[in-house]
Amino acid sequence: MATAVARGKVPIYTGTRIPSPIPSVLQVDPALREEGDILEVNFGPNHPSTHGVLRLIVELNGERVEGVEAVIGYLHTGFEKNMEQKTWWKAITYPERIDYLSFQINELAFVLAIEKLLGVEPPPKATWMRTLLSELSRIHSHLIWLGTGALELGAISLLWYCFRERDAVLDLFELVTGVRMHTRYFQAGGLAEDIPAGFFTECRKFADVFPGRVDEYEALLDRQAIWLERTKGIGLLSAEDAIALGQSGPVLRASGVDWDLRKVQPYLAYDQVDFHVPVYFNGDVYDRYKVRMDEMRESTRIVQQCLDGMPEGPWTVDDRKIVLPPRHELHTSMESLIHHFKLVTEGYRVPAGEVYVAVESARGELGCYVVSDGGSKPWRVKFRAPSFVALEATATTVAGSLVADLIAILGSLDTVMGDCDR
């Protein structure tokens, strides 16, 4: 396998640490088990630091983790099965509930898949607005990760600061879409509504203030001995192991792999904005934290460029076969009424085919595989959930660590259990 590590860097560890024969299960050494000092502990399913409902069966030798197996599925709600029963039009509401922290990026992946099947290209204003809202979503998700991650390691005050900023982001979502979460603002063909007056001023206020806030958070943590002690050199993952385990997003970039789908296969307006992809090389909890802090700054830069470069014009394609006609036309035009009725009851039909669309969510590669038979409902929808894949790395990253570090490591993988179990 070709090496992925940048040349001239010291390897994080030699060889591979992925457990064998089962890559996701760390098994206790039989000789150690003979001694009889192994204690089996259930971590979760209900534990504040599991970010949802995750159960880890941990086998301890004193304070050392010798065996670990992740048990998931407690939040499985059958989103993919449900989406097969809804028209394309209605199914858009499901993906955002899968990953409730970066909901707009999830919505985007599904909408892009529909558009790829339809062959529709949204107008530039919609593309730029999608870029802007995706980045706000990323900031929203990283803020919750930072707040809860620091809380788990004892830095309680940071949670309140992060939630203050998060609330500002939610206010912006509310301003533009009418709801704070699960916005359903993207739809095939563009946006659901025009961008309301006043959004740009409010958003710019936020974008001006936010980078300073990130500096404050970093100052609170980066100059604190406890935080450094508890994050540096912990939860190691080499670049080769990260790729073999399918890791993506901040976890992969903290292991020294310069890989961001926004750069390598630009979608939306990412090829027209200037941003930097933060890469760190130690593959530990601290570097994953650094990647996310830098990403919040870069996301703010993208938001600012979107505000500057936002084109004028329509927010959605003018095609009555896939987009609802304007409300006022329903009172005067029979044809518009028919279109409205057909779209709401039956929905639009999507040509037969299969597509896989990948976007860079806050957690890494979010894939959406969609099969259509040409009908008005999806035949099959499958999400490549980054949290699901991230948890596969638990066994590799916690091998030989202390039980107290388990929480720091698990937090650094940034999993959302709704996303994991779908």
What residues numbered 369-388 form the site for other proteins, per CB under 8 A?
369, 371, 373-375, 379-380, 382, 384, 388
Residues 251-310 that bind other proteins (CB under 8 A): 256-259, 261, 263-265
Of 6 and 219, the one with the shorter C-beta distance to other proteins is 6
Rounded to the nearest whole angstrom, what is the least distance from the CB of residue 80 to other proteins in the complex?
A: 6
Q: Rg of the chain over CA atoms, in angstroms?
A: 23
Rounded to the nearest whole angstrom, what is the least distance from the CB of residue 97 to other proteins in the complex?
A: 16
d(Cα 29, Cα 38) in Å, to the nearest integer? 10
Q: Amino acid identity of 154?
A: G
Check binding of 245 to other proteins (CB under 8 A): yes
Of 198 and 353, the one with the shorter C-beta distance to other proteins is 353
Rounded to the nearest whole angstrom, what is the least distance from the CB of residue 164 to other proteins in the complex?
A: 36
How many C-beta atoms surround the C-beta of residue 250 within 10 A? 30
d(Cα 343, Cα 335) in Å, to the nearest integer? 12
Phi, psi of 350 (to 5 degrees): -115, 130
Check binding of 23 to other proteins (CB under 8 A): yes
d(Cα 418, Cα 278) in Å, to the nearest integer? 27
Closest of 377, 417, 388 to residue 114, by C-alpha: 377
Residues 345-374 that bind other proteins (CB under 8 A): 348-356, 358, 365, 367, 369, 371, 373-374
DSSP state of 37: -
Q: Amino acid identity of 267?
A: Y
Tokens 């010291």, located at residue: 10
Of 110 and 227, the one with the shorter C-beta distance to other proteins is 110
**∠ Cα 266 357 173 (to 5°):** 75
Check binding of 243 to other proteins (CB under 8 A): yes
Q: Amino acid identity of 140?
A: H
- Which of 29, 41, 42, 78 is in the footprint of other proteins by CB under 8 A? 78
Rounded to the nearest whole angstrom, what is the least distance from the CB of residue 241 to other proteins in the complex?
A: 8
Of 25 and 181, the one with the shorter C-beta distance to other proteins is 25
Phi, psi of 172 (to 5 degrees): -65, -40
Spatial neighbors of 268 by CB under 8 A, at least 6 apart, are 108, 127, 128, 130, 131, 134
- Which of 11, 24, 61, 402 is in the footprint of other proteins by CB under 8 A? 24
Residues 120-149 that bind other proteins (CB under 8 A): 120-121
Helix, strand, coil % (nearest 5) of the chain?
A: 50, 10, 40
Check binding of 95 to other proteins (CB under 8 A): no
Size of the site for other proteins (CB under 8 A): 71
Check binding of 402 to other proteins (CB under 8 A): no
Of 133 and 245, the one with the shorter C-beta distance to other proteins is 245
How many C-beta atoms surround the C-beta of residue 99 within 10 A? 30
As a whole number of angstroms, the longest Cα–Cα distance in the chain is 84
Of 20 and 332, the one with the shorter C-beta distance to other proteins is 20
Phi, psi of 41 (to 5 degrees): -125, 140
CA 363 to chain centre: 4
- Which of 29, 63, 64, 76 is in the footprint of other proteins by CB under 8 A? 76
Rounded to the nearest whole angstrom, what is the least distance from the CB of residue 369 to other proteins in the complex?
A: 4
Of 64 and 276, the one with the shorter C-beta distance to other proteins is 276
Closest of 59, 80, 200 to residue 133, by C-alpha: 200
Check binding of 118 to other proteins (CB under 8 A): yes
- Which of 1, 31, 197, 225 is in the footprint of other proteins by CB under 8 A? 1
Check binding of 4 to other proteins (CB under 8 A): yes
Stretch that binds other proteins, among 132-140, 193-201, 226-234, 244-252 (CB under 8 A): 244-252
Check binding of 244 to other proteins (CB under 8 A): yes
Check binding of 421 to other proteins (CB under 8 A): yes
Of 200 and 315, the one with the shorter C-beta distance to other proteins is 315
Rounded to the nearest whole angstrom, what is the least distance from the CB of residue 404 to other proteins in the complex?
A: 26
Spatial neighbors of 247 by CB under 8 A, at least 6 apart, are 237, 255, 364, 389, 390, 393
Of 82 and 157, the one with the shorter C-beta distance to other proteins is 82
Mapping DSSP to helix (H, G, I), strand (E, B) and coil, where does residue 284 land?
coil
